[in-house]
């Protein structure tokens, strides 16, 4: 591999990894609080991209305004899903909640197929993202630079919210012990709602940036990024936000670098990541940063 392609692929891997990280955070936050794999999270990601698409293409709003509005709308969708579908099954056996999540995921995908159609739509990206930037010998697309920067900015805001605000404190407390937190007079349902809102907003930002990176969107676009991001969350240690970020970068880099080094593997790209997941569950089930979640007896 020449230095030029190496730098290009590295930038590519980092930007892909930062997107996985953004999605993975949403999975890990919900899992940390509810012990629920929110299968619909990958479709929230798709919904975010579509909101932006329609705001830009149909309502002709400026790009940045559309993106911000799309993120807000998607956060509302996330909260609505929690309110309508997940809250009623919160005290049901865990398997019921998981089945509900699978149902919501399939519902969003198929609703997408029925309403906007299966045909991919071209996504208009801002000039900033399309511009080519030179680093040393390598020409790198603006997306590969801007995506990681924006992602890290978003994560910084998130970390501020979690560690410096009252809401963040409530979220951490709910994740540690939901019953005690409720007894202390915190409205747990509201905290969970906000968690869904934040996770969905990050997923929407990820979806919009994904659409900038691979400028075509379709209703099933969330499935693979979503599952890989969940894998990233597991590899980083499920329930752990820093772990989810590390996992995201690891997965993104492995995916891009393995294929760049061995082009013959390109067909196995998706399978590879899941293979990695199985290996990880076998050798280090708690993930890179995770600790064993002890069950109370």
Under the criterion CB under 8 A, does residue 25 sit at the interface with other proteins?
no
Considering the rule CB under 8 A, would residue 30 count as an interface residue with other proteins?
A: no
Token duo for residue 110:
């198929």
The torsion angles phi and psi of 92, rounded to 5 degrees, stand at -80, 170
Distance CA 197, CA 279 (A): 33
Strands 216-217 and 121-122: antiparallel
Residue from 29, 231, 236, 246 touching other proteins (CB under 8 A): that is 231
130 sits near other proteins (criterion: CB under 8 A): no
Nearest to 223 by CA among 207, 235, 238: 207
Using the rule CB under 8 A, is 24 a contact of other proteins? no
> At CB < 8 A and 24+ separation, what contacts does 102-109 make?
102/39, 104/39, 104/40, 104/43, 105/39, 105/40, 105/42, 105/43, 108/40, 108/43, 108/44, 108/46, 108/47, 109/43, 109/46, 109/219, 109/220, 109/222, 109/223
- Using DSSP's 3-state secondary structure scheme, residue 270 falls into helix
Among 1, 65, 111, 130, binds other proteins (CB under 8 A): 111
Q: How far apart are CA 78 and CA 241, in angstroms?
A: 19
Q: Is the CB of 148 or the CB of 237 nearer to other proteins?
A: 237
In total, the chain counts a number of residues equal to 297
Cβ 259 to other proteins shortest distance, Å: 13
Smallest separation, CB 265 to other proteins (Å):
9
Candidate list 104, 198, 203, 211; residue touching other proteins; CB under 8 A: 104
274 lies in the binding site for other proteins (CB under 8 A)? yes
Q: Quick check: 183 binds other proteins (CB under 8 A)?
A: no
Binding flag, residue 137, other proteins (CB under 8 A): no
Q: Which segment (120-128, 162-170, 206-214, 280-288) binds other proteins by CB under 8 A?
A: 280-288
Q: Give the residue, chosen from 64, 76, 113, 130, that forms a contact with other proteins under the rule CB under 8 A.
A: 113
Which of 9, 38, 66, 100 contacts other proteins by CB under 8 A?
100
Among 1, 59, 88, 128, binds other proteins (CB under 8 A): 88
Q: Is 262 in the site for other proteins (CB under 8 A)?
A: no
Neighbours of 120 (CB within 10 A): 14
Task: Convert 85-115 to b/e letters by CB count within 10 Å (16 or more is b).
Answer: bbeebeeeeeeebbebbeebbeebbeebeee
Choose one: 130-138, 174-182, 193-201, 286-294; the region binding other proteins (CB under 8 A). 286-294
Of 1, 3, 65, 102, the residue at the interface with other proteins (CB under 8 A) is 102
> Which residue among 94, 156, 160, 184 contacts other proteins (CB under 8 A)?
94
Structural contact between residues 22 and 202, judged by C-beta atoms closer than 8 angstroms:
yes
Which range in 58-66, 81-89, 151-159, 240-248 contacts other proteins by CB under 8 A? 81-89
Q: Which residue, chain included where needed, has tokens 């956060």? A: 75
Distance CA 22, CA 148 (A): 10
Q: How many amino acids of this chain bind other proteins (CB under 8 A)? A: 49
Cβ count near 186 (within 10 Å): 18
Tell me which residues touch other proteins (CB under 8 A).
Answer: 35, 37, 85, 88-89, 92-100, 102-107, 110-111, 113-114, 118, 227, 230-231, 234, 238, 267-271, 273-275, 277-279, 281-282, 285-286, 293-295, 297
């Amino acid at each position: 591999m020449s230095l030029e392609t190496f730098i290009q692929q590295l930038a590519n891997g980092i930007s892909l990894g930062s997107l996985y990280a953004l999605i993975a955070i949403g999975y890990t936050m919900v899992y940390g609080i509810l012990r629920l794999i929110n299968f619909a999270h990958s479709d929230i990601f798709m919904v975010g991209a579509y909101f932006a698409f329609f705001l830009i293409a149909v309502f002709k709003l400026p790009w940045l305004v559309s993106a911000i509005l799309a993120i807000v709308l998607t956060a509302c969708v996330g909260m609505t899903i929690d309110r309508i579908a997940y809250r009623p099954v919160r005290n049901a056996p865990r398997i019921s909640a998981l089945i509900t999540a699978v149902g919501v995921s399939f519902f969003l995908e198929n609703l997408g197929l029925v309403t906007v159609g299966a045909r991919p739509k071209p996504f208009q990206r801002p000039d900033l993202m399309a511009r080519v930037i030179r680093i040393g010998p390598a020409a790198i697309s603006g997306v590969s630079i801007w995506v990681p920067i924006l992602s890290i900015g978003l994560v910084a805001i998130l970390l501020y919210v979690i560690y410096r605000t009252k809401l963040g404190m409530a979220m951490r407390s709910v994740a540690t012990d939901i019953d005690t937190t409720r007894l202390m007079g915190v409205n747990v349902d509201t905290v969970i709602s906000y968690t869904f809102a934040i996770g969905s907003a990050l997923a929407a930002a990820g979806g919009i940036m994904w659409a900038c990176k691979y400028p075509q969107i379709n209703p099933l676009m969330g499935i693979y990024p979503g599952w890989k991001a969940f894998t990233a969350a597991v590899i980083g240690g499920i329930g752990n936000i820093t772990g989810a970020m590390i996992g995201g970068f690891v997965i993104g880099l492995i995916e891009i670098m393995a294929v760049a080094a061995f082009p013959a593997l390109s067909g196995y790209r998706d399978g590879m990541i899941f293979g990695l997941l199985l290996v990880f569950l076998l050798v280090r089930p708690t993930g890179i940063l995770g600790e064993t979640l002890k069950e109370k007896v």
